[in-house]
Structure 1
Amino acid sequence: MDRALVISDAPKAMKFFKDFLSANGYDKIKLASTAEEGRQAMEEFSPDICVINAPIGNASAEELSEELASDISCQVILFVKDDYFEDIAGHVQKAGVICLVKPISKSMFFSALDFAEAADSRMKKADAEIKRLERKLSEVRIVDHAKSILINQKNMTEAEAHRYIEKTAMDRRVPRGQVAEEIIDYYTD
């Protein structure tokens, strides 16, 4: 993680967050002083982490944090005043937002960054596994479609069609999905 977005309308807090993030390995830091600037930066900059210092003008930092947390590639840390912490934390944490109380403790902020990095790592692993499973499911669908074509066009049984695709793939040293796609292309053109 090396890209950070800081959303704060307080210049002193913005400088603190920027300096702290920079000192902790974030070398690309974008600053936004309004919720709208934050949304725009989120789209254009694609940060790994977003730090929101509530309140942000007239905008709801709570709603903004939930909105930005819906992008699973970005971890969101929301800082709120002690008076509102319990109400807001219980709500935003359900959306995956890390909520911390102000005044800001460097050790607490450091722990939150560690937690965000761990969560980011887990999310990336889960996303990679989902993509792997989606590819596998797609291949199964293509192979099943090709088997159906062989059953209808070549009067094969399902076992014969399956064996034909498997054997052809092994003989040619190509994936089963490639053989299946070739069968589909040949019989559907």
Structure 2
Amino acid sequence: MINIVIAFPKQEEADGIKAILMRHGYNVVAAYTSGSAAVHALDGMDDGILICGYRLSDMIYMQLRDYMPSSFEMLLITSRIIDDISVGSGIICLPLPLKGNSLINTVEMLSETIYQRRKKRKKQPLKRNEDEKKLIEDAKKVLMEKNNMTEPEAHRYIQKTSMDTGSTLSATAEMVIGILLR
């Protein structure tokens, strides 16, 4: 589910957008009137959508964009004509007066973008630190010595056990070392 945070200068505007989105099944985390409160809420999330107005009580949308994590998409809702928004800036603009269908369609499009990014991120192999690599190598050596396995067999054993238990390779390697070196 995609997290949505709303930031508008007037609470009733934010609540109105929140109501529309929630009626359509979206997870609106909160609605704020200040950019700093919205940024604080975003800090605990991996990704999502920030829906905001042009000017908040403490900053304008560009300052808010600078402070928010890069994994978030921004949907700017404004009556102003903004010429300096470029493609790839991570900002999508909707004009006021806001139409409910336009809002829902745009949020759906941004949600799909985030889902695709998540999917792509999951396909990338995990980057292990040196300690984890050493732990896995040590577990393979123990399996090779104690169970007369070859290096590929030991690696496959750790890999399969990891998948079967739903744990990481390093956690499985630690378990193997703990059991075989008692």
AA in 2 matched with 1:117: S
Kept after mapping to 2: 8 A contact 1:69/1:97: no
TM-score by length of 2: 0.66
TM-score by length of 1: 0.64
**Distance (Å, rounded) in 2 between the aligned partners of 1:164 and 1:2:** 41
Tell me, what secondary structure is at the counterpart of 1:104?
Answer: coil
- After TM superposition, the runs of 4+ consecutive aligned structure 1 residues lying more than 4 A away are 44-47, 135-138, 140-147, 177-183
- Structure 2: any 5+ residue segments left out of the alignment? 163-168
Kept after mapping to 2: 8 A contact 1:4/1:29: yes
Q: Could you say which residue in structure 2 is the equivalent of 1:14?
A: 14
Tell me, what secondary structure is at the counterpart of 1:25?
Answer: coil
Shift of residue 114, structure 1, vs aligned partner? 1.0
Q: Could you say which residue in structure 1 is the equivalent of 2:166?
A: none
AA in 2 matched with 1:52: C
Candidates 56, 72, 91, aligned match of 1:97: 91
Q: Calculate the aligned-residue CA RMSD, in Å.
A: 4.2
Bigger radius of gyration, 1 or 2?
A: 1
Q: Could you say which residue in structure 2 is the equivalent of 1:80?
A: 78
Bigger proportion of residues as helix: 1
1:166–1:123 distance in 2 versus 1, CA, 3 Å? closer
Alignment of 1:55 onto 2:55: yes
Q: Could you say which residue in structure 2 is the equivalent of 1:110?
A: 104
Tell me, what secondary structure is at the counterpart of 1:31?
Answer: strand
- Structure 1: any 5+ residue segments left out of the alignment? 155-159
1:120-157: per-residue Cα shift (whole Å, max 9, x none)? 21122122223xx116898x94599559x89xxx9xxx
Shift of residue 107, structure 1, vs aligned partner? 2.5
Kept after mapping to 1: 8 A contact 2:6/2:52: yes
**Distance (Å, rounded) in 1 between the aligned partners of 2:108 and 2:176:** 48
Kept after mapping to 2: 8 A contact 1:4/1:48: yes
1:54–1:164 distance in 2 versus 1, CA, 3 Å? closer
1:100–1:69 distance in 2 versus 1, CA, 3 Å? farther
Q: How many residues align?
A: 169
Kept after mapping to 1: 8 A contact 2:15/2:31: no
